[in-house]
Amino acid sequence: DADVTQTPRNRITKTGKRIMLECSQTKGHDRMYWYRQDPGLGLRLIYYSFDVKDINKGEISDGYSVSRQAQAKFSLSLESAIPNQTALYFCATSDRRTSGLVFFGPGTRLTVL
Amino acid sequence: QKEVEQDPGPLSVPEGAIVSLNCTYSNSAFQYFMWYRQYSRKGPELLMYTYSSGNKEDGRFTAQVDKSSKYISLFIRDSQPSDSATYLCAMSAGSGAGSYQLTFGKGTKLSVIP
């Protein structure tokens, strides 16, 4: 069984639609992250959460929002999707006791038309 | 200057070759250094993890960190076609709130030809 799962795995949507990407983990980690990956730009941090009551903006948070529903669940929302949000989105987790070891989910491929 | 520089390749080698992948960085606060392997359409998979300077070996893989030169390397011995993937270096300062955030290189695409 996968330790970090993401749903959906693929999504095609239209400009202006609201989209939610969900992430859940069974690793027992307290920290969760959302990254996006674009060709030529690498992985960039959107939001991160060190516990349920702690949400922080990353490098590229504009146009995104997140919700940490429980220690094991972290969702990413695009309130009004635009084409330049087409990318591969990864959820990731880490444990505060293991100094930066970050584990990634399988990714969601999002296409905004 | 970007915080982490990594040659994107592509790098193509014959099976059995020794592969050397490298990253340079500018932030002297980085203490934790990771290498991730990413197969096409998959999530990055943690391959090697090193704290501070030195070498770490795991099977055919060796990670080296030279903090004085701000330079890290990943060596793959006896490369196999299954090693064909994109390799991402990542690093973090690792202390204080927020400092476990990773800074990634853009990845080097490796192809091992049978």
Q: What does the DSSP 8-state code read for residue B82? A: G
SS3 content of chain A, % helix, strand, coil (to 5): 5, 60, 35
Least CB–CB distance from B44: residue in A45, A96, A104: A104
- B27-36 residue pLDDT tens: 998 988 999 9
Interface of B with A in 1-20 (CB under 8 A): 8
Q: Which residues partner with A43 through β-bridges?
A: A37
Q: Is the pLDDT of residue A45 over 60?
A: yes
In this prediction, residue B9 has a pLDDT band, given cuts at 50, 70 and 90, of confident
pLDDT for residue A72: 96
Chain A residues contacting B via beta carbons under 8 Å: 4, 31, 33, 40-43, 45, 48, 50, 56, 58, 90, 94, 96, 99-107, 109
Q: Which residues partner with A5 through β-bridges?
A: A24
Cβ–Cβ of B101/A31 closer than 8 Å?
A: no
What residue spans of B1-114 are helical by DSSP H? none
pLDDT for residue A24: 97
> Is cis: bond before B10, omega within 30 of 0?
yes
Strands (E), chain B: 4-6, 11-14, 19-25, 32-38, 45-51, 54-58, 61-66, 71-76, 85-92, 103-104, 108-113
- B35-77 residue pLDDT tens: 999 998 899 999 998 888 889 999 999 999 999 999 999 999 9
Cβ–Cβ of B44/A43 closer than 8 Å?
A: yes
- Interacting residues of B69 by C-beta distance below 8 A, sequence separation 6+: none
Measured between alpha carbons, how far is A106 from A4 in angstroms, rounded to an integer? Answer: 8
